Structure 1
């Protein structure tokens, strides 16, 4: 059985369903190519909400999984301090290795202000 990997993304208000689907497919392709099984993708939809992030942590512990894939780091937060804190939480608290996709499709799913 392949090790599990979980995805996490923030759904920005200006992102279409097609862009979300394309990003999830990128995550699936990454997981398959890296030898993982993508177990689930968690989505936070409200600005400032981290409910799905915390659900991700519960899933990691429950499954004893240690890998997370993100479309880009701004999906954790566009605030650098909070982004670092959430990244530390994944790496230290949940002992997760964080994999960040860096493809044009994932960059399309950022709000224009975040494409820096």
Structure 2
């Protein structure tokens, strides 16, 4: 059985639907190429919100999944310190690793 991987991305209102579709497809292709089973994508719609991130952490723990894929680390946060804190939180609370399509 392939390990689960979850997608996470920020999707502000001004992001066109075709761009979101392209990003999700990129994450799905990456998962397939790297031997993962792509479960679903968590979308953060509001600037500054972390509600989808909190849902992601809870789902990782529930499913005992250990992998998250993002188009780029900027989808966690454009702020270097906050991004680092979010990566640390995923590791500490869910033993999860964050990957990007360019990281393999």
Moved more, 16-25 or 73-82: 73-82
Quote the Cα distance in structure 2 between the aligned partners of 1:81 and 1:13: 25
Note the 1:1-116 alignment, pairs <5 A. 1-102=1-102
Deviation of 1:28 after TM superposition, in Å, equals 0.6
Structure 2 residue runs of 5 or longer lacking an equivalent are none
Aligned length: 102
Q: Give the aligned partner of residue 105 of structure 1.
A: none
Quote the Cα distance in structure 1 between the aligned partners of 2:26 and 2:36: 13
Moved over 4 A (4+): none
Quote the Cα distance in structure 2 between the aligned partners of 1:25 and 1:31: 10
With normalisation by structure 2, the TM-score equals 0.92
Quote the Cα distance in structure 1 between the aligned partners of 2:29 and 2:81: 30
Quote the Cα distance in structure 1 between the aligned partners of 2:14 and 2:33: 30
Over the residues paired in the alignment, what is the CA RMSD in angstroms? 1.1
Structure 1 residue runs of 5 or longer lacking an equivalent are 103-116
Quote the Cα distance in structure 2 between the aligned partners of 1:60 and 1:41: 12
Conserved in 1, the CA contact under 8 Å of 2:69 and 2:101? yes
Moved more, 33-42 or 10-19: 10-19
Quote the Cα distance in structure 2 between the aligned partners of 1:101 and 1:75: 13
